[in-house]
Structure 1
Amino acid sequence: MTLRDGLVTHPSVTQRYGHMVETGRIAHDPAQEKIATALDRLIADISDKRLARKSSALGWLFAKRNKTREPVRGLYVHGGVGRGKTMLMDLFHELVPVEHKRRAHFNDFMADVHDRIGQHRAALKAGETQETDPIPPVAAALAKEAWVLCFDEFTVTDIADAMILSRLFSALFDQGVVLVATSNVAPDDLYRDGLNRGLFLPFVGILKQHTRILELDIDTDYRMRKLNRIPVYMTPDDASAKKQMDEAWETVVDGRPVEPAALTVKGRTVPVPQASGSAARFSFSDLCEKPLGARDYLAIAGAFDTIFIDHVPTMDLRRRNEAKRFILLIDTLYDAEARLFLSAEAAPDALYTAANGTEAFEFDRTVSRLIEMQSRDWLERTDARNEEKPAPAGERTGQTG
């Protein structure tokens, strides 16, 4: 579609995807194009359904249900990390012609659901409602706010989530909600080996009934291929280094929400300024100018497999304490085989300028490790390890500060 002044719009997922290929932003992939086509078909189904119910003043969602019409089936797209699932879902969310739509990380959505259930129970206790079952009113409120739901990283690990999903989504689908979800696992593998999984299994049937299941079955991890072209050690610490760090961070985050978090270590709180999935971003000051020790660094390495450290300065005898912590930090991240992105004032062999003392001797090991952590062999090894890494068992909480 061409507008005046030569501007061109791309009104479908397939067209927008094709434009991204033509402009070199991404490489063409038939499997991705297949998902784009399926998303366009879903947009058409949603548009047809809206037209069929247009006569209702409140829209087709709240019109009297026509039992003869089939509900719109959503999509559940699964495949390995870095395959382009999030990119395609975001194109769908942008282009689907619906005002009341919501795009969320699945865990954030479920946290909202539990908050609403808690509020309903408080209202019941206070005598403000007579409805003893919180699921129907919570589902109705969610559907009224957004009847097209887009979930990134659909996964079930929490037993509290697992036990309510069947009833919650049965109620949402009864309200006409359309679901689009991306996941690293097929529906049959959700909550595998989870506690009381038998109680969860009806949800899998409900999910299959209300969504088409598609696999993005390609071998290339585009996110990692792009990431492998980005330097991991940026120096000098100038505007160019900041830009490179930001680009690498955006690639790692891959569209997921970024928010502050906190780790609890022996009753103490270790703030994480920016966290997204298994990636965390700190400044040198956050990690080495504060009284952190080995346990703290171990907790960070256990919770995150990709670490960004901004603004590492050169150090001398006046910064011996900071140098000691930096040595310990790099040792810990090295032992954990973490992927490290770092912006620094100087190259590794020029970071510590004092010629004498224990730190000067120990920093030689740090220099060697920083160099090795930039190597292709290291990056390939960390990619393989992180793909297989189980969820961390440590205590981690989000904070809104």
Structure 2
Amino acid sequence: MPIRLTERWPEVGPDRLLSECVPPPRFAPVRFETYRPDPAEPSQTEALAALVARGEELAKPRPQKSWWRRKSVPAGLPGIYLDGGFGVGKTHLLASLWHVASGPKMYCTFVELTNLVGALGMRAAVEALARYRVICVDEFELDDPGDTVLISRLLNQLVEAGVQLAATSNTLPDKLGEGRFQAVDFLREIQGLAGHFEVRRIDGPDYRHRGVPVAPEPWTDDQVELAAGNRPNASCDHFVDLYRHLGELHPSKYGAFLDGVETVGITDVRELTDENIALRLVVLADRMYDRDIPVLTSGVPLDRMFSPAMLKGGYRKKYLRALSRLIALSRTGMDNIGID
């Protein structure tokens, strides 16, 4: 019998959240040497050179602060920010930077960072994170006013403590928040965040979809159930049951939710129109992609899971990223698992 994710209720404490702040398994082996810039996209070679140079600096031991000296921000820009589309290697470069940096160091997604602050509280989060030499934040996005103020306060205090920052996103720092809320009310915070980063733009097509522009043809419900039942440590859940269950869990638990799962089966995928449900599935897609978990689905093709209105709205980039990742995982799942 396949695992039912809808029967799982993981508990995750702050210690685990901190201990898991490392590159996910998919990016554990990557290095600068394994990044392959597209010759047709010079910005990729330029970004690689910039990250290698930054990595050489971060590989040096962290300077010790004298107790009688006031804290000061290090000379030069404290952070580097990689902006670009999906699948151009931003996360590969960010993880490579983390690997070469001397410790203590931290790697997390933006969502994991906000969840961590929520779990620890601002004061405890600053105390814990100020010990790091460098903090790498993947998929840096500000989706609501609360997150804008929260992360602005956090990063300002960490920069003052001498922490180096590196981040990736699909939106330039001074454009964060546009199209999602009344950005004019939070322009000061957004511009303050932008000032923490040197921007490096990376252009190019999504490597995950070169030659694979659309989602694979879905299987039937019976085929997904059968394949999941025949695979070790595979789960299988109805789409509606799954997203309802996700609504009862904090997103910080979605990683633990997948502990021990090697294949995810989802039957009767449907087009979504509810933004809250869709955003929960975006987080789940990120956690599955981090762990390189193949996906098997029935119902509508994955590229139709988010409604046309959603793909034109303020969270468009999040949904497109999720589709990019889910389709890649679906290709892996359906190519590697045959149907009897």
TM-score by length of 2: 0.57
Distance 1:94 1:202 in 2: 33
Give the partner amino acid of 1:34. Answer: E
1:241-280 paired onto structure 2 within 5 Å: 262-264=242-244
- Counting matched residue pairs gives 252
What residue is the counterpart of 2:295 in the other structure?
A: 308
Aligned-pair CA distance for 1:386: 8.9
Partner of 1:222: 207
More RCO (CA 8 Å, sep 6+): 2
1:202 corresponds in structure 2 to: 188
* Alignment deviations for residues 197-226 of structure 1 (CA, whole Å, 9 cap, x no partner): 3453233333333220111133x2212116
In structure 2, the partner of 1:38 is: 50
Residues 126-150 of structure 1 deviation map (CA, whole Å, 9 limit, x = unaligned): xxxxxxxxx4553122212x23111
Contact kept? 1:82, 1:222, Cα under 8 Å: yes
Q: Is the 8 A contact 2:31 2:92 kept in 1?
A: no
Q: 1:282 to 1:175 in 2, by over 3 A?
A: same
Q: Specify which of 84, 102, 107 is matched with residue 106 of structure 2.
A: 102
Q: Does the aligned pair in 2 maintain the 1:140–1:172 contact within 8 Å?
A: no
Separation in 2, partners of 1:225, 1:297: 26
Cα 1:63–1:213 shift into 2, 3 Å: farther
Contact 1:102–1:150 under 8 Å retained in 2: yes
Is the 2:130–2:161 contact (alpha carbons within 8 Å) kept by the matching residues of 1?
yes
Q: Distance in 2 between matches of 1:94 and 1:194?
A: 34
**Structure 1 unaligned blocks of 5 or more:** 1-14, 54-58, 118-134, 246-260, 289-295, 311-328, 340-381, 394-401
Q: Secondary structure at the match of 2:82?
A: strand
- Give 4+ residue runs of structure 1 displaced > 3 Å after superposition: 15-21, 26-29, 44-49, 59-69, 135-138, 193-199, 226-239, 273-276, 296-302, 304-308, 384-393
Look up the SS of the partner of 1:192 in the other structure: coil
Contact 2:82 2:200 in 1 (8 A): yes
Q: What letter corresponds to residue 125 of structure 2 in structure 1? A: V
**Aligned equivalents of 2:295, 2:66: Cα separation in 1:** 45
Aligned equivalents of 1:390 and 1:217: distance in 2?
A: 22
TM-score computed with the length of structure 1 as normaliser: 0.50
Query: Could you say if the C-alpha distance between residues 44 and 111 of structure 1 is closer, same or farther in structure 2, counting changes exceeding 3 Å?
Result: same
What does residue 70 of structure 1 align with? 75
Matched, 1:178 2:178: no
- In the alignment, the residues of structure 2 paired with residue 299 and residue 185 of structure 1 have an alpha-carbon distance, to the nearest angstrom, of 24
User: Whole-Å Cα distance in 2 between the matches of residues 35 and 181 of structure 1?
Assistant: 13
Where 1:70 maps in the other structure, the secondary structure is coil
Match of 1:317 in 2: none
Using the TM superposition, give the Cα deviation of residue 46 of structure 1 relative to its aligned residue in structure 2, in angstroms: 3.3
Max Rg structure: 1
Q: Cα RMSD between the aligned structures?
A: 4.8
Change (3 A) 1:80 1:268: closer
**SS in structure 1 of the partner of residue 52 of structure 2:** helix
